[in-house]
Amino acid sequence: EVQLVESGGGLVQPGGSLRLSCAASGFTVSSNYMSWVRQAPGKGLEWVSVIYSGGATYHVDSVKGRFTISRDTSKNTLYLQMSSLRPEDTAVYYCARNLPPDYWGQGSLVTVYS
């Protein structure tokens, strides 16, 4: 059974950093496209980042230079390193498999407060 479990969310001040983790089971992270998708409170879904099976990464323009997606094959885990956080980055962050996504985690709330 495919499962994705996010962790690492929380409260952070503007300019701060946070790392989200997504532990996967039931499939191999490195053999799939893996994404992060976020949803601001009361808003719609926004794709944030993707890492392809070959290792190439892409990010939405609004997070380029601030967010980095990566994976650890030994832990079968996906990461999102977020730095220079802004209030507009406040959202529930979902990790997801494939593009467009077929499986989603339960989400991890990141709140950037001033």
Partner 1 sequence: QSALTQPASVSGSPGQSITISCTGTSSDVGTYNLVSWYQQHPGKAPKVMIYEGSKRPSGVSNRFSGSKSGNTASLTISGLQAEDEADYYCCSYGPISTVLFGGGTKVTVL
Which residues sit at the interface with partner 1, rule CB under 8 A? Answer: 35, 37, 44-47, 50, 52, 56, 58, 60-61, 94, 99-107
Nearest CA among 2, 34, 38 for reference residue 99: 34
Nearer to partner 1, 29 or 38 (CB): 38
Identify whether the C-beta of residue 20 lies closer than 8 Å to the C-beta of residue 34: no
CB of 34 to partner 1, least distance (A): 12
CB of 100 to partner 1, least distance (A): 4
Nearer to partner 1, 14 or 102 (CB): 102
Nearer to partner 1, 65 or 100 (CB): 100
CA distances in angstroms from 89 to 2, 27, 47, 102, listed in the order given? 28, 29, 12, 24
Place of tokens 């709330």: 109
CB of 84 to partner 1, least distance (A): 20
